[in-house]
Amino acid sequence: MEYTRLGSTGLEVSRLCLGCMNFGSGQSWMLDDEEASVEIIDRALELGINFLDTANVYSNGESEEIVGRAIAEYDRDELVIATKVFGRMGEGPNKQGLSRKHVIDQCEASLERLGLDYLDLYQIHRFDDATPTEETLSALDHLVDEGLVRYVGASTMPAWKFAQLLYTADVENYERFVSMQPEYNAVDRHEEANVLPLCADEGVGVIPWSPLAGGFLTGKYERDADPEEGRAALDEYTRKRFTEANWEVLAAIEAVAEEVDATPAQVSLAWLLHKDVVDAPIVGPKSIDHLEENVGAIDVSLTDEQIERIEAPKTPRWPAAGKD
């Protein structure tokens, strides 16, 4: 395993992050088997992954509980445990968003479910238009001051909103966001024209989610056939990736995979790992075989020409690009 520093911090994280959204029973495509989930976590740690990402809303806290039980016997100092806050956690008022009350209450609840004294990385899952920016930032700052959180991060929002958060934190001397979780992979490259340049300029670490585009980039779906299994069979968002340009990207990835003696999934992850702005793609394996395949991407080297071929079918642009 290779390691890097998260953004501009001194925090050492593995080049792959283990995503834990699949651990639980909230959706039919999840791994509804705690023993199997723990085995994947154990194997990930054996392979050198020290960075685990979950969220309070994943199976309504069940994912955090599984992760907590799995890591209980490991050296806490070597682990980087990340979770997120924003989504609804129960019925009634004050159960969602980024108010001071919800942020602090949910941090304490996440710590209890994880069985931890502190979180390495606490991330806002979305931007909350209903809560003043200063209120959210002061709540996160409080958690850091109390020793309950080491670093704060963010996920999935327009660049202008993230810039607002960074600017306010700097001006008001609140704890600064050190990381961003964007959707980013070889077919979903919109963030190249949005938040990624901001992250690069501000020294913010990037930990992309959906690095395999919901399984599309593994090559398991057929171009002219409706998906009968896998996430695309149940998830319209994944099926929307079945576009002509995306199939061309996948064809290029499959050709490169043959050239470098790797799988399409490994080439797709290697493409991300070759991006200077990317620290650690978040992989979500549902089996040890898939996990080990993902980790094999660390050893895949791509040439500039191969990267260009993968990127040729799509050119991310600002929405107004090309208009008169």
Which of the residues are catalytic?
Answer: 58
Give every CB contact of residue 40 below 8 A, 6+ residues apart in sequence: 18, 23, 31, 285, 286, 287, 288, 291
Q: How many CB atoms lie within 10 A of CB 206?
A: 24
173's torsion region: left (phi>0), alpha (psi -120 to 50) or beta?
Answer: left
Residue from 298, 301, 282 nearest 211 by CA: 282
- Angle (CA) 115 68 286, round 5°: 165
Q: Please state, in angstroms and rounded to a whole number, the distance separating the CA atoms of residues 86 and 125.
A: 5
User: What letter represents residue 48's amino acid?
Assistant: G
Q: Evaluate whether 52 touches 79 at the Cβ level (below 8 Å).
A: yes
DSSP state at residue 240 = T
Q: Please state, in angstroms and rounded to a whole number, the distance separating the CA atoms of residues 42 and 298.
A: 19
What is the end-to-end Cα distance of the chain in Å, rounded?
49
Q: Nearest 10 degrees: CA dihedral of 268, 64, 66, 181? A: 10
- Angle (CA) 264 244 295, round 5°: 15
Give every CB contact of residue 14 below 8 A, 6+ residues apart in sequence: 1, 2, 3, 48, 49, 50, 51, 280
Q: Please state, in angstroms and rounded to a whole number, the distance separating the CA atoms of residues 243 and 223.
A: 9
Q: Please state, in angstroms and rounded to a whole number, the distance separating the CA atoms of residues 33 and 93.
A: 32
